[in-house]
Amino acid sequence: MNNNSKVLALKYRPKTFKDLIGQEVVADVIYNSILNNRSANAYLFTGIRGVGKTTIARIVAKSLNCLNGVDKLCSEKFCENCEAISNSNHIDVLEMDAASKTGVDDVRDLIEFSRYGPTSARYKIFIIDEVHMLSKQAFNALLKTLEEPPEYLKFIFATTEIKKIPVTVISRCQRFDLSRIDSSNLLNFIKEVKDKEKGKIKDEALKLIVKISEGSVRDALSLLDRALLSNNEKTEINLKEAQKIFGFFDKSYLINLFKFLFKGDEKEVINIYRSIYNQGVEPKVFLNDFLEILYFIKNISSIKLDGQNFTLNDEEFREIELISKEVSSEILLLFWQFTIKTLSELDIVSNQNLSMEMFLIRLLYLKEDRILDDEDTVEHSSEKYSNNNIRKTEQINLSKNEDNLEMKNKTISQIKNFSQEESSRPEKKIEPRVTKIEIKNFEELIKLCNEKKELKLKYELETNVNLVSFTDQRIEISFNENLDKDFLKELTFKLYEWTGQRWIIALSKKIGQLSKKQNIKIEKSKIIEDIKNQDDYKKILELFPDAELVDIKLKDDK
């Protein structure tokens, strides 16, 4: 390692197992195996970028070949072997980048080279970085040597994509999964580096570095390096300055945007977004942060602020907590789904900025019919389908037919044409097509569906609907997950057509009565049990021991 290096990621690279942060378990296992002369034939290190895969590989190589032994591993004054390994020029320790040497011929040369013993060290070691880049044939050529290598030969593999490595190779290695570095450990580490470099950066700015680095030490050191280089050594870098340096905007902007979004204030929403965009924030970065705040609003009750979490500060946490009490989970899940869909659409839009503004406007219009009122129910009136309300109809289609964009647009156009035609003749009222029918209770409704050959509605009412209450032109129900998505629209439309009255279908959080199918099932079960206790049934079982009563048919007269 070059101590004169100006790059912090190289300057503060760990030299021994003790210097590693966040990987203590891995370090202890490997240290003990080398100390007890039970080191593996091959090591496999996997994890995200910058958590120490290649660094640990070099420390293992030094531990195996250090002239002082693993218990006195060189940390300051390097022995001949440790010095050469640190500088990547030891004759017996070969570092190979599998991204540039992927073919079977490269591996064959490696195997041929492995036939000769080490020149000056105890072990000959092959360190292969990004090993998942090797071809299938290259892996196959490596298998036999990997399973039974000579005593003097060791393999050390590093990869970020473990799933791309054949299982036959993984099974021949001692695998270590390197975890992301804990936020508090990483913060303490970069604080020490900052102090050694005599940098002037506030703790809030350092916490931002920890957040952006996502558990990667190399990323954290690179960001710290950038911050130190941008400082004039007279002033201390605060959070706002750090956000400008890293192109990371303040979360409070997004939280305010959500406030106005849920209030339906289009002007303020667009103004806040434009101020974010003017800071140089890319639309994809904005959407990912938008999803993050959505997640926090939905799950704020299960999130705690502690030393391990630098994502939110105290003020942001309180603001999100207040917002979460005012918004239903249904709205948040719809917003999440819509945002994910918009992310996939960005690649086909030339002006992404305009697309983002339209995305926010669509959210404003999407939420209006979805927010729950103060009661336990959401009401659906048949007036929605006869009035000139193009926007609301558009919302329903957006939420229910997102997977079929072409069909959605066609449906909206048809509804729009119908609505415009109706609005052009305001003096004419819609008249019921048939003589007015009176429906007094739920059973009469089911019977009427049967008479009108509306078998789909009849099935839904009998199977997937639980009645809560039935009063004059108002039905309150609960339902299961199998209820058809167009049930409410079809039922309200048919009720108006049959009765000439506006009906309200209310969705209740109450459980409600059992459905007709459930009642029939319970009734059948009771009858079956009664029959099984009768003498006739017992006589049948004596003649046919394997017989079993599984079902009965109920006649109209029972």
Tens of pLDDT, residues 263-322: 888 899 999 898 888 877 888 888 988 998 888 888 887 776 554 555 666 677 788 888
Residue 104 pLDDT? 86
Residue 305 pLDDT? 57
Q: Which CATH number fits domain 183-246: 1.10.3720.10, 3.30.1490.70, 1.10.8.60, 1.10.10.1200?
A: 1.10.8.60
Residue 171 pLDDT? 92
Q: What is the mean pLDDT of residues 437-445?
A: 85
Reported as a single tens digit per residue, the pLDDT across 71-87 is: 888 877 888 888 888 88
Reported as a single tens digit per residue, the pLDDT across 387-435 is: 444 344 444 444 444 444 444 444 444 444 434 444 444 444 444 444 5
Residue 125 pLDDT? 92
Confidence of residue 551 (pLDDT cuts 50, 70, 90): confident
Confidence of residue 156 (pLDDT cuts 50, 70, 90): very high
Residue 5 pLDDT? 57
Nearest residue to 283 via CA among 212, 358, 228: 358
The three-point CA angle 473-479-483 to 5° equals 100
Residue 390 pLDDT? 38
Residue 381 pLDDT? 44
Nearest residue to 334 via CA among 300, 359, 363, 360: 363
CATH level 3 topology of 251-367: Zinc Finger, Delta Prime; domain 3 (1.20.272)
What does the alpha-carbon distance between residue 493 and residue 415 come to, in Å, rounded to a whole number? 14
Reported as a single tens digit per residue, the pLDDT across 250-267 is: 777 888 888 888 888 889
Domain ranges for the chain: 8-177, 183-246, 251-367, 373-513
SS3 479: strand
User: Residue length, the chain?
Assistant: 558
Residue 113 pLDDT? 84
Residue 72 pLDDT? 82
CA 91, 92, 96, 101 torsion-angle sign: positive
Reported as a single tens digit per residue, the pLDDT across 348-374 is: 888 888 888 999 998 888 765 444 343
The three-point CA angle 332-334-340 to 5° equals 100
Residue 398 pLDDT? 41
Residue 382 pLDDT? 43
% of residues, the chain, pLDDT over 70? 83
What is the reported pTM?
A: 0.57
Residue 463 pLDDT? 86
Q: By the 8 A CB rule, do 43 and 257 touch?
A: no
Confidence of residue 169 (pLDDT cuts 50, 70, 90): very high
% of residues, the chain, pLDDT over 90? 14
Q: Which CATH number fits domain 8-177: 3.10.350.10, 2.40.30.10, 3.30.390.10, 3.40.50.300?
A: 3.40.50.300
Residue 433 pLDDT? 46
Q: Which of 65-69, 243-247, 334-338, 341-345 has the lowest mean pLDDT?
A: 243-247
Domains 183-246 and 251-367 alike in fold: no
Beta strands, E only, 165-254: 174-177
Nearest residue to 254 via CA among 288, 289, 282: 289
Q: What is the mean pLDDT of the chain?
A: 80
Residue 189 pLDDT? 92
What does the alpha-carbon distance between residue 512 and residue 510 come to, in Å, rounded to a whole number? 6
Q: What is the mean pLDDT of residues 517-534?
A: 81
Alpha helices per DSSP H over 278-328? 283-299, 314-326
Residue 158 pLDDT? 93
SS3 letters across 76-143: CCCCHHHHHHHCCCCCCEEEEECCCCCCHHHHHHHHHHHCCCCCCCCCEEEEEECHHHCCHHHHHHHH
Both structure tokens of 1: 């390692």
Residue 425 pLDDT? 44
How far the first Cα of the chain sits from its last, in Å, is 90
Indicate whether 165 pLDDT > 80.
yes
Reported as a single tens digit per residue, the pLDDT across 176-230 is: 999 888 888 899 999 999 988 888 888 888 888 888 888 899 999 999 988 888 8
Residue 380 pLDDT? 47
> What is each CA distance from 1 to 73, 86, 91, 165, 483, in whole angstroms?
15, 5, 17, 30, 66
Reported as a single tens digit per residue, the pLDDT across 484-509 is: 878 888 888 888 888 888 888 888 87
SS3 489: helix
